[in-house]
């Protein structure tokens, strides 16, 4: 870990940025390309540490993957042709890699062992493993599979009709990916809509997936065929510059080719609700994922309530939205966000504790937080908890603080946004 001192003297932000590729879609492009037979090509791939962990895991399974800049090619014999790995599959800090791989490996023909870093070792895995075990998966691990390391013996699976207890794209995706290899038709029933990148990409690779009123069904035994995937800019990464542009004086930032998947665009809705000066110009030539050019300008913001079914559409953006709320007039309430407690860290506690150090008027609740604004912020030494989104929240805060912000571990930001600080320099 290395400290980073940030002192910007309240700059005016101006310019145009191309946000790095979407992390969720980058992960899935490699996973689906590895499951499929033939060649898959990807452009706009995110070269973040999490996505590189996914590549490393599939290379250990014998899949040929070449990386040239943000272009990736995957040449796979298909899941039936994978080699049994001789090394442990290391997923680093990536919950997406760990949980989706469980669904993929459960129906494979190989035995494997998977583990991650210290943060992954604390994150709950039974929410994925329980439905997979209902399908007949053979998975063992610490605390009966609650925590990594996990051992997976691939086997023949049976389809299930699964009622999701929480809105989680990772759980849904793991079950659907296992369903590809299961006998019968796998059904997943969502209580709230979660991000649908898996369903979209399954169709892109040639699978038939039906979805009616939150009920998703997938017939087992389907094979995937290699294809081309264009990865849009990650709206979760764009969120940090959308907030920066809204709260910094005399600012105007344009972000190009940002994914605006309707299961992920909650931050745009919240910015509109708070009175932000934001324009969204959809691109007409998007692939399976819709994209847009988004422009944000300095804004007079009003507090709002963020709750209910919008939460899964912006769960990763809540840390930066909390910072935004410190600069809005009146009270902002965030609730129904218990899921934050099982992210890379307990993000409710982490966000509240770190923003308080900066002088924010913020209190934690059982399922979210309450923020009173506007509040002038001051410099402080912040803890990132090794969490990339907490680190970037602190870095954006440094743009408006009186005094320097010191991050104890800025390197963690490379998990999702390796070029973050270079992009800050481009627009300030």
Please determine, for residue 16, whether its predicted confidence score (pLDDT) is greater than 80. yes
> What pLDDT was estimated at residue 167?
83
Please determine, for residue 101, whether its predicted confidence score (pLDDT) is greater than 90. yes
CA angle 128, 173, 87 (to 5 degrees): 65
Q: Which of the residue ranges 246-260, 270-284, 329-343, 399-413 would you say has the lowest mean pLDDT?
A: 329-343
On whether both 176 and 90 belong to a single domain, the answer is yes
Confidence of residue 215 (pLDDT cuts 50, 70, 90): very high
Q: Which of 230, 255, 285 is the last residue of a domain?
A: 230
Q: Which among 300, 330, 349, 324 is positioned nearest to 399, based on CA atoms?
A: 324
On whether both 119 and 208 belong to a single domain, the answer is yes
> What pLDDT was estimated at residue 286?
66
Main-chain phi, psi angles of 25, to 5 degrees = -75, -35
CATH number at residue 204: 3.65.10.10
On whether both 219 and 328 belong to a single domain, the answer is no
Average pLDDT, stretch 323-329?
98
End-to-end Cα spacing for the chain:
26
> What pLDDT was estimated at residue 84?
96
User: Catalytic pick from 22, 234, 265, 316?
Assistant: 316
On whether both 204 and 242 belong to a single domain, the answer is no
Full domain range(s) for residue 366: 4-21+232-427
170 carries a ligand binding annotation: yes
3-state SS assignment for residue 330: strand
On whether both 274 and 172 belong to a single domain, the answer is no
50 carries a ligand binding annotation: no
123 carries a ligand binding annotation: yes
State how beta strands 157-158 and 330-334 pair: unpaired
On whether both 69 and 193 belong to a single domain, the answer is yes
3-state SS assignment for residue 375: coil
CA angle 162, 167, 170 (to 5 degrees): 80
> What pLDDT was estimated at residue 1?
66
389 carries a ligand binding annotation: yes
User: What is the pLDDT of the chain when averaged over all its residues?
Assistant: 95
Main-chain phi, psi angles of 309, to 5 degrees = -75, -5
Chain centroid offset of residue 8 CA: 28
357 carries a ligand binding annotation: no
181 carries a ligand binding annotation: no
CB of 391 closer than 8 Å to CB of 407: yes
On whether both 146 and 169 belong to a single domain, the answer is yes
3-state SS assignment for residue 129: helix
> What pLDDT was estimated at residue 166?
85
> What pLDDT was estimated at residue 350?
95
State the Cα–Cα distance between residues 163 and 116, nearest whole angstrom. 28
State the Cα–Cα distance between residues 253 and 427, nearest whole angstrom. 8
| 61 vs 119: which has the higher pLDDT | 61
CB of 20 closer than 8 Å to CB of 419: yes
Confidence of residue 2 (pLDDT cuts 50, 70, 90): confident
Confidence of residue 389 (pLDDT cuts 50, 70, 90): very high
Reported as a single tens digit per residue, the pLDDT across 335-385 is: 999 888 767 778 999 999 999 999 999 999 999 999 999 999 999 999 999
Work out the percent of the chain whose per-residue pLDDT is above 90. 90
On whether both 414 and 319 belong to a single domain, the answer is yes
On whether both 306 and 387 belong to a single domain, the answer is yes
133 carries a ligand binding annotation: no
pTM of the model: 0.90
Reported as a single tens digit per residue, the pLDDT across 287-314 is: 789 999 999 999 999 999 999 989 989 9
Confidence of residue 179 (pLDDT cuts 50, 70, 90): very high
Any bridge partners for residue 65, and if so which? 74
Q: Which among 205, 159, 198, 165 is positioned nearest to 182, based on CA atoms?
A: 159
On whether both 205 and 260 belong to a single domain, the answer is no
Q: Which of 230, 263, 278 is the last residue of a domain?
A: 230
Q: Which of 170, 205, 230 is the last residue of a domain?
A: 230
3-state SS assignment for residue 404: strand
> What pLDDT was estimated at residue 177?
98
State the Cα–Cα distance between residues 405 and 421, nearest whole angstrom. 14
> What pLDDT was estimated at residue 341?
78
On whether both 81 and 205 belong to a single domain, the answer is yes
Please determine, for residue 117, whether its predicted confidence score (pLDDT) is greater than 70. yes
Domain count, the chain: 2
- Can you tell me which residue has the tokens 């998947």? 261
Q: Which among 360, 416, 356 is positioned nearest to 27, based on CA atoms?
A: 416
On whether both 266 and 397 belong to a single domain, the answer is yes
State the Cα–Cα distance between residues 98 and 94, nearest whole angstrom. 6
CA atoms within 13 A on the CB side of 326: 30
Average pLDDT, stretch 224-252?
97
> What pLDDT was estimated at residue 345?
76
Average pLDDT, stretch 14-20?
96
State the Cα–Cα distance between residues 294 and 141, nearest whole angstrom. 44
346 carries a ligand binding annotation: no
316: annotated active-site residue: yes
95 carries a ligand binding annotation: yes
Please determine, for residue 159, whether its predicted confidence score (pLDDT) is greater than 70. yes
State the Cα–Cα distance between residues 256 and 294, nearest whole angstrom. 7
| 48 vs 175: which has the higher pLDDT | 175
Please determine, for residue 258, whether its predicted confidence score (pLDDT) is greater than 70. yes
């Amino acid at each position: 870990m290395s400290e980073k001192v940030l002192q910007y003297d309240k700059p005016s932000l101006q310019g145009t940025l191309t946000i790095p590729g979407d992390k969720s879609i980058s992960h899935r492009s490699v996973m689906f390309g590895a499951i499929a037979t033939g060649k898959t090509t990807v452009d706009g791939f995110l070269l973040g540490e999490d996505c590189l962990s996914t590549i490393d895991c599939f290379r250990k399974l014998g899949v040929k993957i070449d990386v040239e800049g943000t272009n990736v090619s995957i040449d796979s014999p298909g899941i039936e042709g994978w080699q049994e790995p001789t090394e442990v599959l290391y997923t680093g800090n990536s919950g997406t890699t760990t949980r989706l791989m469980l669904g993929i490996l459960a129906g494979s023909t190989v035995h494997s062992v998977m583990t991650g870093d210290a943060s992954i070792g604390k994150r709950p895995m039974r929410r994925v493993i329980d439905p997979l075990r209902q399908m007949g998966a053979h998975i063992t691990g610490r605390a009966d599979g609650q925590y990594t390391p996990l051992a997976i013996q691939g086997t023949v699976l049976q389809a299930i009709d699964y009622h999701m207890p929480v809105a989680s794209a990772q759980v849904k995706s793991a079950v659907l990916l296992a369903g590809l290899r299961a006998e019968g038709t796998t059904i997943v029933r969502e209580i709230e809509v979660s991000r649908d990148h898996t369903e979209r990409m399954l169709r892109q690779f040639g699978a038939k997936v039906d979805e009616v009123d939150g009920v998703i069904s997938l017939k087992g035994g389907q094979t995937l065929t290699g294809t081309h995937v264009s990865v849009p800019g990650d709206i979760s990464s764009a969120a940090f510059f959308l907030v920066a542009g809204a709260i910094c004086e005399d600012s105007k930032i344009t972000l190009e080719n940002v994914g605006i998947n309707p299961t992920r665009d909650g931050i745009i809705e919240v910015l509109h609700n708070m009175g932000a000066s934001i324009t969204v110009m959809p691109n007409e030539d998007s692939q399976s994922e819709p994209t847009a050019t988004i422009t944000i300008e300095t804004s007079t913001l009003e507090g709002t309530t963020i709750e209910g079914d919008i939460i899964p559409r912006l769960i990763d953006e809540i840390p930066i939205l909390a910072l935004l709320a410190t600069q809005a007039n009146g009270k902002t309430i965030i609730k129904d966000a218990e899921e934050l407690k099982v992210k890379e860290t307990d993000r409710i506690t982490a966000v509240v504790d770190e923003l308080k150090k900066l002088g924010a008027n913020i209190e934690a609740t059982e399922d979210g937080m309450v923020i009173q604004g506007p509040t002038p912020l001051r410099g402080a030494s912040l803890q990132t908890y090794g969490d990339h989104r907490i680190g970037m929240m602190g870095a954006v805060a440094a743009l408006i603080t009186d005094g320097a912000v010191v991050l104890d571990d800025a390197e963690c930001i490379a998990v999702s946004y390796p070029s973050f600080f270079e992009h800050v320099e481009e627009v300030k």
